[in-house]
Amino acid sequence: MQNLNQGRYNAPLAFIQERFVCALGGLTTNKVPTLTCEGYDVVKNQCFRMMPLEKPRYSTSAVVMQNHAIYIMPGNCGGGNATGGVQLFMLDLKPAGKFNKDDMKYVKAIATQKWVSL
């Protein structure tokens, strides 16, 4: 199994299309909150970078809705402070829908979506 590029813990995970596991933020091995998001394709055993969070998040949860959006609950952003609001990651699958999920263009469509704060 290929490792993610950044070691992390206390990171919310999202499972998309029964194939992609996404690690969203969390704490690095040095206990530093990170903005980094990465995905892992369980079929091809490949990791890919995703757009970073707008604010670091850890000790939180993520929910995938209809393989279209990932909601990240407030959680912590550092120093034990809870963050305000919810971050929403829109996975606009309409452009990705023209590709088979076995195609790397599908992964690129997921990886290039930007986080939007609610």
Return the structure tokens found at 34: 């990170």
Whether 108 shows a pLDDT value over 80: the answer reads yes
The residue among 25, 36, 24, 33 whose CA lies nearest residue 80 is 33
CA nearest to 36, candidates 48, 20, 45, 44? 48
At residue 85, the pLDDT reads: 62
- How far, in Å, CA of 118 to CA of 99, rounded? 29
* 40 or 75: which leads in pLDDT: 40
Domain holding 53: CATH number? Answer: 2.120.10.80
Q: Please state, as a whole number, how many other Cβ atoms lie within 10 Å of the Cβ of residue 106.
A: 21
Domain count for the chain, please give it. 1
> 107 is written with which tokens?
């992964």
Where in the sequence is the domain holding 52, given as residue range(s)?
8-117
Residue for token pair 């055993």: 45
**pLDDT higher than 70, residue 80:** no
- pTM tops 0.75, yes or no: yes
* 47 in any annotated domain: yes
Looking at every residue in the chain, the average pLDDT score rounds to: 82
Query: Residue for token digits 């990171």?
Result: 11
- Domain-embedded: residue 1: no
Do residues 22 and 13 lie in contact, with contact meaning Cβ atoms separated by under 8 Å? Answer: yes
Does 39 fall in a domain? yes
Whether 104 is covered by a domain: the verdict is: yes
Residue 3, in any domain of the structure: no
